[in-house]
Structure 1
Amino acid sequence: MKTRTSKTIGVAASAAAIALSVPLAVTAYAQPSDSDAPAAEIPDPQGPECGAFKEALPNWKGLADLPVSAALASIPEISTFNSAISGGMNPAVNITSVLDNGPYVVFAPTNEAFAELPPEQAAYLRTDAAGLTNLVYYHAFLGLLGPDDVKGQRPTQEGTEVEVTGKGGDIQVNATAKVTCGGIQAQNARIYIVDQVLDPAEAPAPITPTSTSATTSVTPTTTAPATTTAAPTATTEPAPAEAGAAEAPAG
């Protein structure tokens, strides 16, 4: 009886050991990967000529996957501006690598806007690298703003400021240039097609911050650090002995 009981216990122990050696079935829940996440919706650009823009570029949503230099090069109606920023107009001026280090808001004049420039100005831009560099940098400022948020006065990469008014499909730049289609999404920028070439000489007066108001579009003024001049250290000289004063007798 003792032997049979021992055998029964041994069999039970062996079964328990086997059971423990088999991995337990665990219900695993996979964490969603980034590739499983729904793609962000590409917002529609806004402006009176966006219909023509989409017709000319049916795959316009694909621009969102491109750096801004490639996105600009893909839009037919701004090919002259693309030439101006990429070395085509003047081999000495190529700022595409700068723009690709955005985020930037880029105002891209149409081909018609460049065609309306006086012939002497067009010739100047083709031959003067500094002038063309200033011009193209005036068409970009740091930011990543859609049509409802782009308004305000902001410093451009050229140094002077640009003023954007309105919102949605009714936006103006410096009160004269109109956005024909804006908020076009690139990988690191928002592109606004405008009907005029922006001129740094017509930049609005810079906004000066005051102690009573502040705005996000204000450009802080740069003040040279005050030079502190240390006052000369006063040196006390012994007073001169009066003439005729008697000397103390030696003690």
Structure 2
Amino acid sequence: MRGRFGKRDLRPLSAFADDELSATERVTTLARLAADPGAATRVSNYRAQKAALTVLFEDPGDDAHCILVRRRVPWWRQAGVAASCMAVGVALGSSPGWVSANFATDPPVFAERADIAFAVYAPEQRHPVEVAAPPRDQLVDWLSRRLGQRLSVPSLRDYGYSLIGGRLLPGESGPAALFMYQNMAGARLTMYVAAVPKDATAFRLFRNGNRSTFYWGSRGTGCALTGLVSTVQLRSMAIDACSMLGRAFRSREASDSLNP
């Protein structure tokens, strides 16, 4: 029966979350996750927990700069970022309809704009992006300047998607950024980034026809991942993306603490 696992069944799921499977085992497990929402949910929770623990207990290594950063960042701030990542995992892993009181029941404007942006630009063959990803840093720097905040772009290579570029879009109250990913089969995903109220922290699924969007807010920035993939797969990618963005945010805070 789906959703019930013995210890032997859990081992490949745990190994998948820790990237410990061989190429053949990974393909087999991916097929299992696509067919079994219960297994996919468990992997999502494993990865969210791992990300949270990594943020909280990350080894600074031998680099003196890293050690200094770790001393300057308060423990409660590390715990806050870790708890945020854990909340994403629990929310998206256990109930795709979960939402905090800080976002209304209806999808916020930025999530709807993310859905529309995907519908308009993802099918485009000649000009899907305004600026190509290579060189990646130039793309991120340009959009960061236009949005007035330092942006980070999560990697989705574990899922077979590579960043191909991005574009500047009008948001509800200012500029917004759209990053586009594509896999070897030509399927695309988009990550939409825009300003949201600072107390908006929901993690929620929004569907429009055959398109699915997972969106969340953190510290005044809203992110939305949109695609034509299953909600199970998109949920896992959204958890990973949020975890990566949380680590990037912590890194920026640490850097800022050294340069007040």
TM-score band, normalised by shorter chain: under 0.3
Quick check: which one's helix share is greater?
2
Looking at CA atoms only, which structure, 1 or 2, has the larger radius of gyration? 1
Q: Give the TM-score, by structure 1 length.
A: 0.26
Q: Give the TM-score, by structure 2 length.
A: 0.25
